[in-house]
Amino acid sequence: MPTRSVSIEDYNFHLEDFIAEERFNRIKAFAADKALPCLVIDLDVIRGKYQELKKSLPFATIYYAVKANPHDEVLALLRDLGSCFDVASRYELDQLLRLGISPERISYGNTIKKAKDVAYFYEKGVRLYATDSMTDLNMISDAAPGSRVFFRLLTEGLGADWPLSKKFGCHPDLVRQLVKAAVRFGLVPYGISFHPGSQQRDVGQWSSALTSAGQLFHSIREEIHVELKMVNMGGGFPANYLEPTDSVAEYAEGIKRFLDNSFKDLWPEQIIVEPGRSMAGDSGIIVSEIVNIAKKSVHERYTWVFLDVGKFSGLIETLGEAIKYPIYFEGSGQAVETIIAGPTCDSMDILYEKCTYKMPRSAKIGDRVYIFTTGAYTQSYSSVCFNGFPPIAAYILK
């Protein structure tokens, strides 16, 4: 019997918190003839998110984190809105170049890269690189001479649903060493970056990171006589999952205050944000079908609901039940407490068992189920053909 850590009342939700009825009806009609499961992406939502962030942080340059949703039409929309792009591999770079995005609008933000890939980025015209180690910096200096580099700070990711901590970034002590080395190598030490953790619920996490960044700006100016010019505040802005967060406008208010505190007399020439989840998350709805509804024993309290979508078809962020997608079952009647699982022959393909999702009693095999806020980190995480299931198909809502 699984253990319950959350009361079911916490996971009741109202459809209107996630979607207007009119838009929901449009999406249902659009998906009516599609093979399931599929992801439907509404570009109007992404346009709105971009404009909202631009308005909330008018001084910031937006580098969209391509990995969140690399659909061609998503990237083309952001291209036309004037966004820049943060990429992690030569494949993402090729895609952006194919879409006519110029290399000046692209940063190579992955700190884990092969020398031949750095050379490839350089050859294609990219001149902005993230780094967090001496070996990587050496590689950039060999393969991308004279480029601008920014130094990623280690953060703890506390307060984030999907932390991204530990693997990336380095301690301020090492940043100082890297800045000195960059000068020696003839690179341009350009700025400091951090990522506060994805779906970061605590705006205070930007405060501590910006404090460190501000201190580094000062100490690097005093001790190394280098004027850094850029602060990159990463992603971390929220999408609308089951547990509510502050609005992007409220995040922006806090962040402006922290910037003022940390950069009083040394305001950076450029401020960058790299939103992925907050740009794309709310734009997507996965339309799924109930494959089976069953109990494991005669008296079991929980009903198992098997969907045609699971951890291997895009919902990997349910690992540890970290991301709690709003799941909408149609039907009526008493609420049934469920354990929700995917369709594959892997026993880790269970979406939620600790946190109870409720399903109306009338729900039955073959019914459609709608999983909201699945526009980010879903299709790009979908496995190739585990158990023969193809990666989840995505459609742009027309």
Interface pattern 213-252 for ligand PLP (x via CB under 6 A): ---------------------xxxx---------------
Angle in degrees, CA 332, 239, 331, rounded to 5: 5
Question: 291 - beta bridge partners?
Answer: none
Nearer to ligand PLP (CB atom), residue 107 or residue 303: 107
Q: Which is nearer to ligand PLP, 26 or 201 (CB)?
A: 201
CA-wise closest residue to 211 among 155, 294, 166, 269? 155
For the CB of residue 14, give the shortest distance to ligand PLP in the complex, in Å.
Answer: 26
Q: Say whether residue 136 binds ligand PLP (CB under 6 A).
A: no
Residues 273, 217: Cα–Cα separation, whole Å: 18
Q: Is 65 in the site for ligand PLP (CB under 6 A)?
A: yes
Instruction: Give least dist CB 153 to ligand PLP, A.
Output: 12
Nearer to ligand PLP, 96 or 307 (CB): 96
The torsion region of residue 108 among left (phi > 0), alpha (psi -120 to 50) and beta comes to beta
CB of 178 to ligand PLP, least distance (A): 17
Locate the DSSP E strands across the chain: 38-41, 60-65, 84-87, 106-108, 128-131, 148-152, 160-162, 188-193, 198-200, 230-232, 270-273, 284-294, 303-307, 327-329, 335-341, 350-360, 368-372, 393-396
Instruction: Tell the smallest beta-carbon distance from residue 13 to ligand PLP (Å).
Output: 22
Bond from prior residue into 37 cis (ω within 30 degrees of 0): yes
Instruction: Give me the least distance between CB of 109 and ligand PLP, in Å please.
Output: 4
Minimum CB separation of residue 308 from ligand PLP in Å reads 26
Q: Which of residues 82-121 bind ligand PLP (CB under 6 A)?
A: 86, 109
- Give the x-and-dash track for 276-305 against ligand PLP (CB under 6 A): xxx---------------------------
Minimum CB distance to ligand PLP smaller for 200 or for 303: 200
Least distance between ligand PLP and beta carbon 161 (Å): 9
Nearer Cβ to ligand PLP (87/179): 87
Q: Closest distance between ligand PLP and the C-beta of residue 322, in Å?
A: 12
Number of residues that bind ligand PLP (CB under 6 A): 16
User: Segment near ligand PLP (CB under 6 A), from 20-28, 63-71, 183-191, 257-265?
Assistant: 63-71
* Residue of closest CB approach to ligand PLP: 235
| Least distance from ligand PLP to the Cβ atom of residue 277, Å | 3
Beta bridge partners of 368: 289
Between strands 350-360 and 335-341, the pairing is antiparallel
Kindly state whether residue 67 participates in binding ligand PLP, applying the rule CB under 6 A.
yes
Residue 343 contacts residue 351 (beta carbons within 8 Å): no
Tokens representing 345 are 């022959």
The dihedrals phi and psi of 306, each to the nearest 5 degrees, come to -100, 120
Best CA proximity match to 246, nearest among 204, 201, 214, 302: 201
Residue that is written with structure tokens 């346009």 in the block = 47
Q: Which is nearer to ligand PLP, 278 or 356 (CB)?
A: 278
Measured from the Cβ of residue 284, the count of other Cβ atoms closer than 10 Å reads: 29
Cα atoms in the 13 Å half-sphere on the side-chain side of 9: 0
Q: Should residue 191 be labelled a site residue for ligand PLP when binding is judged by CB under 6 A?
A: no
Cβ count within 10 A of residue 398: 7
Q: Is 157 a binder of ligand PLP (CB under 6 A)?
A: no
Binding site for ligand PLP (CB under 6 A): 65, 67-68, 86, 109, 195, 198, 234-237, 274-278
